[in-house]
Amino acid sequence: MEEQKKPVILSGITPSGVLMIGHYMGAIRNWVALQHEYECFFMVADLHAITVRQTPADLRRRTLDIAAGYIACGIDPDLCTLFVQSHVPEHTQLTWVLNCLTSMGEASRMTQFKDKSGENAENNNVGLFTYPVLMAADILLYQADLVPVGDDQKQHLELTRNLAERFNFRYSPTFTVPEPFIPPVGARVMSLQEPTKKMSKSDKNEKATLFISDTDDAIRMKIKRAVTDSGTDIRFDEKNRPGVANLMTLYSTATGKSNAEIEREFEGLGYAEFKEAAAEAMVGFMRPMRERFLELRSDTTMLNALLAKGAETARNRARRTLRKVYKKVGFAELG
């Protein structure tokens, strides 16, 4: 019997910092759960990273950090195609074709572009403008059916769908029109220092973020110094008590306990006892990730071999799509 083709998933993270617990909870945890049922492509989006000025040595190091981080968080390179975006030149090649299909108006409406280009004049580059088109190329090259992304990337997914439909209509059916896969609310981890802001790998204040490379003591220190609210009891109230609610989300992930169970566990106890327990739970939860991460990072030859294999698989797939696109657009073939 012919084996049924698995639906395709593609996603990626930009190497603008080290992986942190927010990536695990909001993104990679879902990827891990999906990797058996889907044909998965997970990439390190280094082409996207240079829309913000990067120090070359840092970019190089962080690219490998993110790749090792994926595996440390449970992505199995034997089940998934794990690769670095710049290793597959078809991404930039398809971007050009899609750029010529995108109107100035629709690119200008992207809220991430408006936010990021407005942040400082120095960073107002054309790459930032065409960032969502590159993202569309990432997705369409692999004929992805499903794209797990955070809420902030939903608009880029909508553009991707429009570009796929436009190309298919103008030429002939070529691209799969992808669906977004947005994780349920509650998957968002907030900054430990400003709990109304999301935890971010590029936060200037290191105490705000739990990185997967953090030592046991760093994790304990960050949780114990996490900003909490003026209340005293342990109750889940995201709106009025975002600091405690955030720590409860972390504790819940590490222990599998529900918010109601946590509230019962800490009834009559205060923030200090709760933080102590949350710190120990996170130390235990994150230790195996850190150990695996450090092990992978200490063997660059092995990591590069894995990425070379991933790039080859990705290129084979990407090349097939690009060849069709070039032909349909009317680029003359040599033979």
In three-state secondary structure terms, 25 is helix
Tokens of 44: 């390190």
Of residues 8, 9, 10, 13, which one binds ligand ATP by CB under 6 A?
A: 13
* Nearest approach, Cβ of residue 272 and ligand ATP (Å): 25
Q: How far apart are CA 236 and CA 228, in angstroms?
A: 12
Q: Does residue 268 come out as left (phi exceeding 0), alpha (psi in the -120 to 50 range) or beta?
A: left
- Cα distances from 13 to residues 84, 234, 267, in angstroms, run 10, 34, 39
- Cα distances from 208 to residues 187, 199, 218, in angstroms, run 17, 7, 11
Nearer to ligand LTN, 141 or 247 (CB): 141
Nearer to ligand ATP, 184 or 268 (CB): 184
Enumerate residues 127-146 that contact ligand LTN by CB under 6 A: 135, 138-139
**Residue least distant from ligand LTN (Cβ):** 45
Q: Which does 139 bind (CB under 5 to 8 A by kind): ligand LTN, ligand ATP, none?
A: ligand LTN
Q: Which does 319 bind (CB under 5 to 8 A by kind): ligand ATP, ligand LTN, none?
A: none
85 CB-contact burial (10 Å; exposed 0-12 / middle 13-18 / buried 19+): buried
Enumerate residues 120-149 that contact ligand ATP by CB under 6 A: 149
DSSP 105-143: HHHHT-HHHHHHHHH-GGG--HHHHHHHHHHHHHHHHTT
Of residues 8, 10, 18, 25, which one binds ligand ATP by CB under 6 A?
A: 25
Reported in sequence order, the residue ranges of the chain that DSSP labels E, i.e. its strands, are: 8-13, 39-44, 81-84, 146-148, 179-181
Nearer to ligand LTN, 10 or 282 (CB): 10
Q: Closest Cα to residue 249, out of 322, 211, 198?
A: 198
Of residues 188, 292, 315, 320, which one binds ligand ATP by CB under 6 A?
A: 188
Of residues 10, 18, 26, 83, which one binds ligand ATP by CB under 6 A?
A: 26
The catalytic residue among 5, 6, 197, 201 is 201
- Write the binding mask 198 to 237 for ligand ATP: x where contact by CB under 6 A, - elsewhere: xxxxx-----------------------------------
Of residues 187, 208, 226, 278, which one binds ligand ATP by CB under 6 A?
A: 187
Any catalytic annotation for residue 257?
Answer: no
Q: How far apart are CA 87 and CA 153, in angstroms?
A: 23
In three-state secondary structure terms, 306 is helix
In three-state secondary structure terms, 256 is coil
- Write the binding mask 40 to 79 for ligand LTN: x where contact by CB under 6 A, - elsewhere: -----x--x-------------------------------
Q: How far apart are CA 232 and CA 215, in angstroms?
A: 29
Any catalytic annotation for residue 198?
Answer: yes
**Contacting positions for ligand LTN (CB under 6 A):** 10-14, 45, 48, 135, 138-139, 147, 149, 153
**Contacting positions for ligand ATP (CB under 6 A):** 13-14, 16-17, 22-23, 25-27, 149-150, 187-189, 198-202
The residues assigned a catalytic role are 116, 198, 201
